[in-house]
Structure 1
Amino acid sequence: MDFLLITGMSGAGKSLALNHFEDRGYFCVDNLPPALISKFAKLCLQSDLNKIALVSDIRGREFFNELFQELAKIEKMNLNYNILFLEASDDVLIRRYKESRRRHPLDEEGRVLDSIERERKLLEELRGRATKIIDTGELKIDELKAELNQLFFSGQKKDLLHLSLISFGFKYGIPRDADLVMDVRFLPNPYYVDSLKEKTGNQIEVQDYVLKWPVTNKFYHKFFDLIDFLLPEYEKEGKSHLSIAIGCTGGKHRSVTTVNKLKEFLAEKDFKISIEHRDLDK
């Protein structure tokens, strides 16, 4: 079992790190009270879970009275674990607290700096036991993800980017969760051909009609080339899911055809792909 304890300075990015492990398939728990760690580990051993990440930190209050005892208990279970410790300089942490307008967990109507210094002293022993230490002070979110990948997932096959391709009709509204939206209402419309009006872009007759026009082929070449360029860049940025919505007027002909053809274009590439023709039956 891969059992990871994420801890460190408040404001250093523990929640961001936990979210990344969750995206990589870990079962994740935030702010687990230290006194429950061994009980939680025992439950994990009795389950089918094999990748666990949890955050336990100074928010647990009686932190050090319990944490090291709990770690000793899970060692007796012969459960190997790692400790990831995140930290940043005082100046960086002060700035982050000012930007977020949140109180430090140890703040008792005092100065933020006093709370940070107190926390850093309390965490000294735990930092010394850490398997990995990351200073997040100068790291952007994508750089933190890259650092985590290097430390914990180097040599592993990367998770595939999941693409959701959605056709829709503008008359019914744009999908709210779309990352990219393309409007194909400029393409010749099969709706105005009597023999095609009641058919959809899932049928070859409609696809042939949409594809026979030079403007369609020129557009597909440029659009598919853009998607081919963008997807690796989104992967570098750390995206695990991308929703591409393609719309026409009613969501039955041109958008459906375009989604189907885009799926064919991407089929041989290294992505997980799902499609949804949202307004096909409306």
Structure 2
Amino acid sequence: MSAMAVVIVTGLSGGGKASILRALEDVGYEAVDNPPLTMLEEMVARSEHQLAVGIDARTRGFDAGDVLDSIARLGSNSERRIQLVYAWADDKTLLRRFTETRRRHPLAPRGVVADGIAAELALTEPLRARADLVVDTSGLPIASLRRLIERHFGAGVDPAQLAVSLISFAYPKGLPREADLVFDARFLRNPHYDPILRSKTGLDADVGAYIEADGDFAKFFACITELVDLVLPRFVQEGKKYATITIGCTGGRHRSVHLIEKLANHLTSRAESCSADPARLLAWGVFITHRELTRDGQAGAVLMDRPVARRDESDLDKSAQGLAVQA
């Protein structure tokens, strides 16, 4: 019998906790928002279904230390699988959300919203440090947030498997704050300066061929895979449930996108080839997000935020050979 899943959702007011709870409810969790903290353990003990519980600074008797103590006690029961999710956004986004909704901040009911945000951030920092999954909703559309929750908690998700998120991004628009590893691809030749390729993306074979024609591409990609192949098994050994690997370039449309796609194919190949040997600890699920393509509303953007199926890279290599552009 598998352990009962319990997800504790916390974070900053206005950070997206309610949206995460709704998404969890849609994938089959019973969702309860803001119960008294003293009821948490009893509620979990009595539940017969997978449960999602929202707890934040509004919760009666809230104390981050007490929340962590409750999670530790609940997690000592092997019949339960407890995960902590922390939702937040940057100050600018939170201020805008409070302005748009005209809500008062729970920690600054008569004062300055910014002061309430700062106080809540300090109050909940121990929970953020302990969280299994930290979700930055600053520039995250609701649809993408829902897909993120589905990928981690939906039907068919193996809780024992490391979830590896691969994200392409543009440096001028900021680093993904959840990143565990960041690689900079801005030194590679840039398809943006080719008028034929500029309007395309790293998802197109001719763009990939152009990038790979850079004399340093192969060495750079080999360095990335060598490091990733080293650290992912160690993440698994440490019990880490989520890992985020990001690659950035100037526009987030060409070089980083192609590299993320290529890395995803490498990782799924490695996981499958070693899945028969559990001692090698190479079992993980791989998910792709092309942040700037999704934000810009590219056609088929829903397919740019997706789980990765195994692909035959030889087909990509053949296309690249036929379309290679000499440097």
Superposition pairs for residues 161-240 of structure 1, below 5 Å? Answer: none
CA contact (8 A) 2:21 2:52 kept: yes
Aligned to 1:101: 102
Superposition pairs for residues 68-87 of structure 1, below 5 Å? Answer: 68-78=68-78, 79-87=80-88
Aligned to 2:262: none
SS of 1:15's equivalent?
helix
Aligned to 1:139: 140
4, 15, 20: which one aligns with 1:12: 15
SS of 2:144's equivalent?
helix
Quote the Cα distance in structure 1 between the aligned partners of 2:101 and 2:6. 30
State how many pairs are aligned. Answer: 156
2:34 aligned with 1:37: no
1:62 deviation in Å? Answer: 2.5
CA contact (8 A) 1:5 1:84 kept: yes
Structure 1 runs of 4+ aligned residues shifted over 6 Å read none
Amino acid at match of 2:130: R
Quote the Cα distance in structure 2 between the aligned partners of 1:61 and 1:103. 17
1:68 deviation in Å? Answer: 2.5
SS of 2:58's equivalent?
helix
Aligned to 1:2: 5
Quote the Cα distance in structure 1 between the aligned partners of 2:91 and 2:52. 26
17, 20, 24: which one aligns with 2:27: 24
1:72 deviation in Å? Answer: 2.9
1:107 deviation in Å? Answer: 1.2
Superposition pairs for residues 55-70 of structure 1, below 5 Å? Answer: 55-64=54-63, 66-70=66-70
Amino acid at match of 1:121: A
Gaps of 5+ in 1: 158-232, 237-282
Amino acid at match of 2:116: S
Taking a change above 3 Å as real, the CA distance of residues 156 and 128 of structure 1, as seen in their structure-2 partners, is closer
Select the structure of larger CA radius of gyration.
1
Q: Bigger relative contact order, structure 1 or 2, given CA contacts below 8 A and separation 6+?
A: 1
Please give the root-mean-square deviation of Cα atoms over the aligned residues, in Å.
Answer: 2.2
Gaps of 5+ in 2: 159-299, 304-327
Amino acid at match of 2:77: M
Amino acid at match of 2:61: E
CA contact (8 A) 2:23 2:150 kept: no
